[in-house]
Amino acid sequence: MNIIDRATIDKIMSAANIVEVVQEFVTLRKSGVNYKGLCPFHNEKTPSFFVSPTRGICHCFSCGKGGNAVTFLMEHEQMTYPEALKWLARKYHIEVKEKELTDEERQAESTRESMFIVNEWASGYFQRLLHEHEDGQAVGLQYFRSRGIRDDIIRKFCLGYDLPSRDALPQEAIKKGYKEEFLVKTGLCYKRDSDGRLNDRFAGRVIFPWFSVSGKIVAFGGRLLDSRTKGVQLKYVNSPDSEIYHKERELYGIYQAKRAIAKENCVYMVEGYTDVIAMHQAGIENVVANSGTALSYEQIRMLHRFTPNIVLLYDGDEAGIHAALRGTDMLLSEGMNIKVLLFPDGDDPDSFSRKHTTEEFRQYIDGHQTDFIQFKTDVLLTGVTDPIKRSEAISSIVRSISVIGDQIIRATYIHDCSQRLGIQESTLISSMNKFIRQQRADRRQAAEREQEAEERRQEEALAQQTAAPARPAAPVQRDHRQEVEMMIVRLIVRYGERNITVKDEDDCPVTLPVAEYIDSDMAADDLHFQLPVYEKIRQEAVAQSADKDWTAENWFLHHHDVDISKTAAELSVERVRLTKSLQKDVDEETLRERVIHLMADFRLDYVENRMKEIKQSLNGVTDADTMRSLMEEFSRMQIIRNALARQLGNNIIV
Ligand SMILES: [Zn+2]
């Protein structure tokens, strides 16, 4: 199903800049001709994720994931192919003319995509109510303005308003053709117990949409207005977890903040929606909120891909201080540098900003950040004289220091603490080492448990395999054939357009592109690749190689067929650093030998398998004619095999 036409796909493919696309999710630093950053697909503290702008691909040398701009988005954002294309089209201002979908095609749209579409519509609906409906203007807009929020900021965060009636939104949505199923799945509505009718979850609230890091609306937060907050109803209501929204993976404001976070190399962490908005209004855009709970590992890792520096902003009251201390060891152990900023008199960024000018607000933020360990020492030890409490506090501080990965930073903190607390450095160090040993033991145990679980899984898989009917082909043989096929296809992808000179049947030299040679050599014996995608690549390569300007690698890496471009990306980077593989300086002679050698290897493999098959067939044959013809084929294969083996033996390539 392709709902976007080929010309548009090609336009999108050539506009997409891999560095810009990846940078939407990871801060990249220049590294030679490439860029590198922390891999968004696995957890790491030193970068092994490379992006090659010249080749238009990215690749992680640790976990192996990557691809071109489209496959990167599909993998990282769990987008479908059309979703990824549309996302890129929006980014590069390319108009997408979508075909009118048939019912069947609409059915096939993924659930996730349908949920995003419903959320997108709902956000537009809430915004229209806020700006155009008279209740929205009188109640919602009035509320935001009374909180000092400027109109441009209201637009920037797509704030909205929902009518008090619980039926209005579902009725409007159904009328517009959105399915009940997705209204419920996104959490916009829930079913009434009594009669199963749909109820609007956010009725009568002002609306704060949550954008994912890629700019899709994943959830909504709704706040009751001041006059109605009395009584039992909750002041804030959020979308429940769903297929597109996992509370512990999202951060409010990340989409609007990510550029500034990368640019400032720092992120401010606040508590609520309005704090984020107040900061933006003061011109500080590198700010996110996670609504109360402690940060999860997923959230920390997402931030870490943009910057290692975080400043926690909290009210200066008891609760705020407690919140600031919560979950901080997790940040430290993930390699983040933490600073803390407390507002005076129980103010939060929102309330503080309303009492001061923008300039004063900014100055306060710049001038009142404290190093985290120092902050923790001050909070836990100021005025504490009870020896047991003091010892507990010191222990907690040392534990925080012990989770920091960098040895030099740890040593510096220990030195500072020793000075400030008047405790011998050696005492603190031995206490810290105890913590470190404990953490290592814990990690080892966890790793062992994981290892045991893995072994169990493998044993079970093996048991299942043996229980299943025996397969005829030996697995070792199959692996070798796969390997050879992969290497041949890699030659097509990387060097398909390059000319080599070989001898034809009459021993005359002919010059032809690698892709064509491989294809005709296979066709001569009616050989095929086992993987369908390899066959697709082979056929395309032959068709394209007639074109003088064709370069195989570029063509395949950005192919509109995701199957092909993904395979090409894997083949083109595997086991080779991007920097090295950039040099396509294999000379013709080496290339020619490599091609011929691999083709001989491929054929040898085929011949040996065929010989085995013949032997097996011979066992059951009683008919003399069949037996004779099988024997003849066998001896033909034997001759070919010996010739191939000789050729390979003489032609060993290192
Ligand atoms: Zn990785």
Q: Residue 229 — very low, low, confident or very high, per pLDDT cuts 50/70/90? A: low
pLDDT on residue 241: 93
- Point out the domain boundary residue: 372, 406, 436: 436
Distance 50 CA to ligand 1 centre (A): 10
Q: What is the rounded CA–CA span in Å between residue 557 and residue 560?
A: 9
- 379 within a domain of the structure (yes/no): yes
Residues with CB under 5 A from ligand 1 (ion): 39, 41-42, 60, 62-63
Ligand 1 mean position, distance from CA 40 (Å): 7
Q: Residue 491 and residue 93: Cα distance in Å, rounded?
A: 36
Pick 604 or 159 by higher pLDDT: 159
Q: Average model confidence (pLDDT) for the chain?
A: 86
Residues 320 and 418 in one domain: yes
In single-letter form, the type of residue at position 5 comes to D
Assess whether 486 and 552 both reside in one domain: yes
Please report whether residue 541 resides in a domain.
yes
Label residue 28 by pLDDT band (50, 70, 90): very high
Residue 463 located in a structural domain? no
| C-alpha of residue 63 to centroid of ligand 1, in Å | 4
Tokens 């471009």 — which residue?
565
Per-residue pLDDT of 272-299, as tens digits, reads: 899 999 999 999 999 999 866 678 888 9
- Range with the poorest average pLDDT among 277-281, 355-359, 618-622: 618-622
Cα 327 to ligand 1 centroid, rounded to whole Å:
25
| pLDDT for the residue 119 | 96
In our burial notation (b when 16+ CB lie closer than 10 A, e otherwise), range 373-385 reads bbbbbebbbeeee
Per-residue pLDDT band for 654 (boundaries 50, 70, 90) equals very low
Distance 520 CA to ligand 1 centre (A): 38
pLDDT digits (tens, 9 = 90+) for 230-270: 555 668 899 999 989 998 889 999 999 998 998 899 999 99
CATH number where 77 lies: 3.90.580.10
What is the Cα–Cα distance from 126 to 566, expressed in whole angstroms? Answer: 39
Distance of CA 403 to the CA centre of its chain: 26
Q: Which of 238, 264, 279 is the last residue of a domain?
A: 238
The CATH number assigned to the domain holding 145 equals 3.90.980.10
Residue 474 lies in a domain: no
Quick one: 217 and 134 in the same domain?
Answer: yes
**Domain limit, last residue, from 238, 262, 278:** 238
Q: How far is CA 99 from CA 4, 70, 84, 96, 452, in A?
A: 7, 20, 17, 9, 52
Rounded mean pLDDT of 624-650?
83
Model pLDDT for residues 40-93, shown as the tens digit of each residue = 998 888 899 999 988 889 999 888 889 999 999 998 888 888 889 999 999 999
Question: Greater confidence, 171 or 654?
Answer: 171
Q: Are residues 309 and 426 in the same domain?
A: yes
At 366, which CATH number? Answer: 3.40.1360.10
Q: Tell me the CA–centroid distance for residue 407 and ligand 1, in Å.
A: 25
Q: How far does residue 24's CA lie from ligand 1's centre (Å)?
A: 17
Please indicate, yes or no, whether residues 549 and 635 belong to a single structural domain of this protein: yes
Range of the domain at 642: 480-576+584-648
> What's the whole-number mean pLDDT along residues 179-200?
92
Any domain includes 455: no
pLDDT of the residue at 507: 81
Which position has the token pair 């503080």?
352
Residue 258 sits in the same domain as residue 222:
no
pLDDT of 616 higher than 80: yes
User: Is residue 420 in a domain?
Assistant: yes
- Is residue 326 one of the residues assigned to a domain? yes
What band does 478 get if pLDDT is binned at 50, 70 and 90?
Answer: low
Q: Quote the ligand 1 centre to 43 CA distance (angstroms).
A: 7
Nearest CA-CA partner of 517 in 536, 544, 499, 537: 499
Are residues 389 and 301 located together in one domain of the fold? yes
466-494 CB burial, b ≥16 within 10 A, e <16: eeeeeeeeeeeeeeebeebbbebbbbbbb
417 and 270 together in one domain: yes
Do residue 410 and residue 304 come from a single domain? yes
Give residue 575's pLDDT band: very low, low, confident or very high (50, 70, 90): very low
CA of 66 to the centre of ligand 1 (A): 8
Say if residue 523's pLDDT is above 50.
Answer: yes
**Could you tell me the distance, in angstroms and rounded to a whole number, from the CA of residue 578 to the centre of ligand 1?**
15
CB atoms within 10 A of CB 391: 11
pLDDT band at 561 (very low <50, low <70, confident <90, very high): confident
22 CA from centroid of ligand 1 (Å): 13
Question: Does 97 map to a domain?
Answer: no
- The mean pLDDT value for 303-324 works out to 83
* 266 and 396 together in one domain: yes
pLDDT band per the 50, 70, 90 thresholds, residue 481? confident
- If you measure from the C-alpha of residue 258 to the centroid of ligand 1, how many angstroms do you get, rounded to a whole number? 21
- The Cα-based distances of 196 to 119, 192, 199 in angstroms read 22, 5, 9
**Helices marked H in 496-582 — which ranges?**
514-524, 532-544, 552-557, 562-573, 578-581
CA atoms lying within 13 Å on the CB side of residue 518: 39
Which structure tokens are listed for 639?
A: 């001759």
Token pair of 171, please? 């009725």
pTM of the model: 0.73
Please, which pLDDT band fits residue 108 given cuts at 50, 70 and 90?
low
286 and 222 in a common domain: no
Ligand 1 centroid to 76 CA: how many Å?
11
Q: In 3D, which of 52, 38, 13, 23 has the Cα closest to residue 576?
A: 52
Q: Give the Å distance between the CA of 334 and the centre of ligand 1.
A: 16
Give the mean model confidence (pLDDT) for residues 366-381.
88
In this structure, are 179 and 294 located in the same domain?
Answer: no
**Domain count of the fold of the chain:** 4
Cα–ligand 1 centroid distance for 185 (angstroms): 31
Q: What confidence tens digit (pLDDT) does each residue in 524-548 have?
A: 888 889 889 999 999 989 888 888 8
